[in-house]
Structure 1
Amino acid sequence: MNPSPSLEMTLRDRTAAGKSLVEPLLNYAHRDDVIVLGLPRGGVPVAYEIATALEVRLDVMLVRKLGAPSHEEYALGAIASGGIEIVNEQALRVNHIDQATLDAIVERETRELLRRETAYRAGRPPLNLKDQVVILVDDGLATGASMMAAVHAVRRQDPAHIVVAVPVAALESAEALRSEVTELVCPLTPEWLMSIGQWYLDFSQTSDNEVIDLLQRAWQRESAA
């Protein structure tokens, strides 16, 4: 299944994807209790457009997919800040992943998560999400494992509401998340989704420097407000 030209144009790039999600989220604009959290790296440019248009705070929710050794894009589960670990037991069985192999994957991805936390947040104090309306944003959901880990990490902090906003998600992943959050905003939910990139004209990799630049711009705007 290939996206039609009109759908491709909807997701020209991550900037356009973020702008396409603003209108469904207008109820959250200009509110002190709302914070948009982008999932690095690709979710941050999408989240930046949303936070800028709504004039609300922006930050990051650090998550790492646990990729299968033979196919890194295939998610065995995910980890998130705060010690959250979600594992797909069926995926482990299908890929013949034993505990030692899983532990090694978790250890490696935890190191990268901590590296990104240090690089992106630059010494900012830990997030306090209690009683906040948290909008979690990514550039798309395939298995949804990373976003599910993010939802669980946010829920630990007792927020008022959790909203997930993504431009495209596999139908099964969207339905699984819908029951876990207050609101799910997702314009495109194809029944079969081979990769997120097929729904974008430009899906080039987001760099660490791009993430840091967008966060710094958002934080400078908040400081000046």
Structure 2
Amino acid sequence: MSKVFKNRIDAGQQLADKLEELTLEDNALVLGLPRGGLPVAAEVGNRLNLELDVFNVRKLGVPGQPEVAMGALTEDGTRYLNHDLISALRISDADIEQVAAREQETLDRRAREYREGRQQPSFDGRQVILIDDGLATGATMRAVIESVRRQKPSRITVAVPVAARDSADSMRGITDDFVCPLEPRDFRGVGLWYQDFAQVSDDEVIGILARARRP
């Protein structure tokens, strides 16, 4: 418990310490996963003097148990589905489509509000550093990795302050770099490793991105 993070800013600073040990490309791009990943990513971007942006993704929650992820969806429509869980719970295709349609509406709204008319930056030939405030099942990150890979980055780095060990191990198999200062044996949940894990608002995300765009 000595490595509990004070808040997402503290977590971002500790994550930046670890990322400084890597050889990063000069044009590397830091992408925060909303909403909790943005304060963490902002600290990394500031420390390493790298461009910061947002990559919109939403968990696809099990019908009736929205806190349980059956998959994830990115704003460009890329899906990751946990087929074993879907089969075990006998979730129908119609139920999946209903959840996905609802989450796509949220993704479309966030894309408009967060970017304020800007286009998503190009990933082609760039190292992309994907950051969230923690990794539980890894479903959302898997969807993001699949989407980003289609745009042919030179390297995909996933960086999170804390992760479940099984998810961390799986990430090492599908990324070029996986950076995580804390992989507790008894994980239990991302929020348990933060003293302050208050929800991040849309306005906070918009503010972080606005500050990042200032010269």
Shorter chain as denominator, the TM-score bin is: over 0.9
- Provide the residue aligned with 1:207 in structure 2: 201
Quote the Cα distance in structure 2 between the aligned partners of 1:63 and 1:182. 21
Q: Percent identity at matched positions?
A: 44
Residues 26-75 of structure 1, C-alpha deviation per residue, up to 9 Å, x if partnerless?
2456x541110000000000000000010110001111100112222211
Quote the Cα distance in structure 1 between the aligned partners of 2:46 and 2:57. 22
Letter of the 1:82 partner, please give it: D
Task: Identify if the C-alpha distance between structure 1 residues 207 and 21 changes in structure 2 by more than 3 Å, giving closer, same or farther.
Answer: same
> 2:136 matched to 1:142?
yes
Q: Residue 191 of structure 2: which of 188, 197, 201 is its match?
A: 197
Q: Residue 13 of structure 1: which of 4, 7, 11 is its match?
A: 7
- Provide the residue aligned with 2:60 in structure 1: 66
| Shift of residue 125, structure 1, vs aligned partner | 1.6
CA RMSD of aligned residues (A): 1.2
> 2:166 matched to 1:180?
no
> CA contact under 8 A between 1:40 and 1:63: conserved in structure 2?
yes
- Provide the residue aligned with 1:128 in structure 2: 122
- Provide the residue aligned with 1:36 in structure 2: 30
Farther-moved stretch of structure 1 (45-54 vs 186-195): 186-195
Quote the Cα distance in structure 2 between the aligned partners of 1:70 and 1:203. 25
Residues 153-194 of structure 1, C-alpha deviation per residue, up to 9 Å, x if partnerless?
110100000000000011111111111111000111123422
Scaled by the length of structure 1, the TM-score of the pair is 0.92
> CA contact under 8 A between 1:81 and 1:153: conserved in structure 2?
no
State the aligned residue count: 214
> 2:154 matched to 1:157?
no
Letter of the 2:196 partner, please give it: D
Residues 115-137 of structure 1, C-alpha deviation per residue, up to 9 Å, x if partnerless?
11111011112321000010000
- Secondary structure of the residue aligned to 2:120 is coil
> CA contact under 8 A between 1:28 and 1:54: conserved in structure 2?
no
- Secondary structure of the residue aligned to 1:72 is strand
- Unaligned segments of structure 2, at least 5 residues: none
> CA contact under 8 A between 1:28 and 1:34: conserved in structure 2?
no
- Unaligned segments of structure 1, at least 5 residues: none
> CA contact under 8 A between 1:172 and 1:191: conserved in structure 2?
no
Quote the Cα distance in structure 1 between the aligned partners of 2:48 and 2:196. 24
Residues 166-225 of structure 1, C-alpha deviation per residue, up to 9 Å, x if partnerless?
0001111111111111100011112342211111111110000000000100111xxx2x
- Provide the residue aligned with 1:94 in structure 2: 88
> CA contact under 8 A between 1:18 and 1:46: conserved in structure 2?
yes
Scaled by the length of structure 2, the TM-score of the pair is 0.96
- Secondary structure of the residue aligned to 1:22 is helix
Task: Identify if the C-alpha distance between structure 1 residues 28 and 208 changes in structure 2 by more than 3 Å, giving closer, same or farther.
Answer: farther
